[in-house]
Amino acid sequence: MEFLHTMVRVEDLNASMHFYCDLLGLIEVKRYDSESGRFTLVYLAAPGQLEEAKSSFKPTIELTYNWDKEQYNGGRNFGHLAFSVDNIYDACNTLMSAGVVINRPPRCGHMAFVQSPDGISIELLQKGEALPAQEPWCSMKNTGSW
């Protein structure tokens, strides 16, 4: 068995592309527009797995954008997407500077949670050993849910 992709339905493709690509750093590897089905599929990969994703489209996140307006509720019901990051504090600073709420700050220097524009929980994990605890993260409280 192999993991292929995670599919996430999105309400606003531009907002989602900004979040996943511009802020988290994922890279688009494939896009498919279906006129008859009235949807767009966008496959995204992490930079460290880009070459594999280009050849096999795995492991990827598939953003599914239905052209006819739909509202999706309960983004948390499937769990979360997890990404390792080189520096958890830098990643959280980038997201927070762009207006993303850090739902579970990286108080321990190892783990944080944020949400995508569609309410999907995103777990950020520090690569390797946890970084030494530092402010303002140590004092931050949890916000909302993840």
Please pick, among 11, 51, 123, 129, the residue that the annotation labels catalytic.
123
Instruction: Choose the CATH number for 5-66 among 3.40.50.12780, 3.30.70.100, 3.10.180.10, 3.90.76.10.
Output: 3.10.180.10
The predicted pLDDT at position 74 comes to 67
| Overall pTM surpassing 0.85 (yes/no) | no
| 135 in active site | no
Mean pLDDT of 107-135: 93
Share the mean pLDDT of the chain: 91
The predicted pLDDT at position 75 comes to 63
Q: What is the CATH number of domain 80-139?
A: 3.10.180.10
Q: What are the structural domain ranges in the chain? A: 5-66, 80-139
More confident residue, 79 or 52: 52
Share of the chain above pLDDT 70, in %: 95
The predicted pLDDT at position 145 comes to 82
Judge contact between 10 and 63, C-beta under 8 A: yes
The 10s digit of each residue's pLDDT in 75-120 is 655 668 889 999 999 999 999 999 999 999 999 999 999 999 988 8
Based on DSSP, count helices (H) and strands (E) in the chain, helices before strands. Answer: 3, 8
Same fold, 5-66 and 80-139: yes
- DSSP 8-state symbol, 135: T
At residue 101, the 3 state secondary structure works out as coil
Mean pLDDT of 7-17: 93
Report the alpha-carbon distance of residue 72 to residue 53 in Å, rounded. 27
